[in-house]
C-alpha cells in the first residue's frame, strides 16, 4: 500500500514550483555546463566537468524525490478543517506548563514543517502528542531536553491558501 503524505495546498504548490524550476531551468543549465566543461578536453582532470556531473546527479535525485512526494500527496485545504480537535492544518496555541509562555504552531506535513515559521510536522513527537486534543487538554511529550507539558489554549483553522 502506498503511504500517503499529508500536505497543505500551499505546500503542494511550493513543491510543484520547485520541480518545475529544476526541470525547466536548472537541468538545462547543468547540461550546458557539462557541454562547456567537455570542450576543455581531458575529462579525468577536469574539475568543472566533475562538479557539473555531481550537480546533475543532485538535481536528478531531487526531481525523483519531488515526483514521488507529489505522487503520494494527500492535499488538504487547511482553511476548511474542523477546529473541534487538533488535526492536520489546524493552528494550535499551547501554554508551556513550566514557563507559562504561549507558543503557536500549525500542524503540517513533514515537507512543510518549519518551527521558525510557526509550523511543526504532524509526525514529530510534539505533533503526534497534539493530534486529537481539544481546548483545555494537557499535552505531554518527550523532547531531547526531557518531558515537557503543555495545555491546549486555542485551536483555529489554518489560513486560506
Query: If you search the block for the grid coordinates 487538554, which residue do you land on?
Result: 137
Query: At CA 50, angle to CA 46 and CA 51, rounded to 5?
Result: 115
pTM: 0.80
Check whether 161 has a pLDDT greater than 70: no
Check whether 131 has a pLDDT greater than 60: yes
The architecture (CATH level 2) of 5-76 comes to: Orthogonal Bundle (1.10)
Q: Which CATH number fits domain 80-156: 3.40.50.720, 3.40.50.300, 3.30.930.10, 3.10.50.30?
A: 3.10.50.30
Interval 37-49: pLDDT, tens: 888 877 778 889 9
Cα atoms in the Cβ-side hemisphere of radius 13 Å centred on 98: 6
Q: Which residue has the higher pLDDT, 21 or 113?
A: 21
Check whether 100 has a pLDDT greater than 60: yes
Across 77-91, average pLDDT: 89
How far apart CA 37 and CA 84 sit, in angstroms, is 59
- Each domain of the chain, given as residue ranges in start order, spans 5-76, 80-156
End-to-end CA gap in the chain: 30
Across 89-99, average pLDDT: 93
Q: Answer yes or no: are the C-beta atoms of 70 and 78 closer than 8 Å.
A: no
**Residues 6+ positions from 35 with CB-CB distance below 8 Å:** none
Fold identical between 5-76 and 80-156? no
How far apart CA 29 and CA 71 sit, in angstroms, is 26
* CA-closest candidate to residue 159, choices 83, 50, 63: 83
- Place 1 in a pLDDT band, splitting at 50, 70 and 90: low
Amino acid at each position: 500500500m502506498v503511504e500517503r503524505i499529508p500536505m497543505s495546498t500551499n505546500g503542494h504548490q511550493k513543491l510543484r514550483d520547485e520541480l518545475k524550476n529544476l526541470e525547466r531551468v536548472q537541468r538545462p543549465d547543468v547540461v550546458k555546463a557539462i557541454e562547456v566543461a567537455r570542450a576543455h578536453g581531458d575529462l579525468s582532470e577536469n574539475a568543472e566537468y566533475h562538479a557539473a556531473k555531481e550537480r546533475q546527479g543532485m538535481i536528478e535525485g531531487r526531481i525523483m524525490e519531488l515526483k514521488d512526494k507529489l505522487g503520494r500527496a494527500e492535499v488538504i485545504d487547511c482553511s476548511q478543517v474542523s477546529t473541534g480537535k487538533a488535526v492536520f492544518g489546524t493552528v494550535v496555541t499551547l501554554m508551556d506548563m513550566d514557563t507559562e509562555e504561549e507558543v503557536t504552531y500549525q500542524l503540517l506535513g513533514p515537507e512543510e514543517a518549519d518551527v521558525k515559521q510557526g509550523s511543526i510536522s504532524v509526525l514529530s513527537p510534539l505533533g503526534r502528542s497534539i493530534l486529537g486534543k481539544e481546548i483545555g487538554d494537557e499535552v505531554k511529550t518527550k523532547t531531547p531536553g526531557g518531558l515537557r507539558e503543555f495545555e491546549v489554549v486555542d485551536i483555529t483553522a489554518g489560513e486560506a491558501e
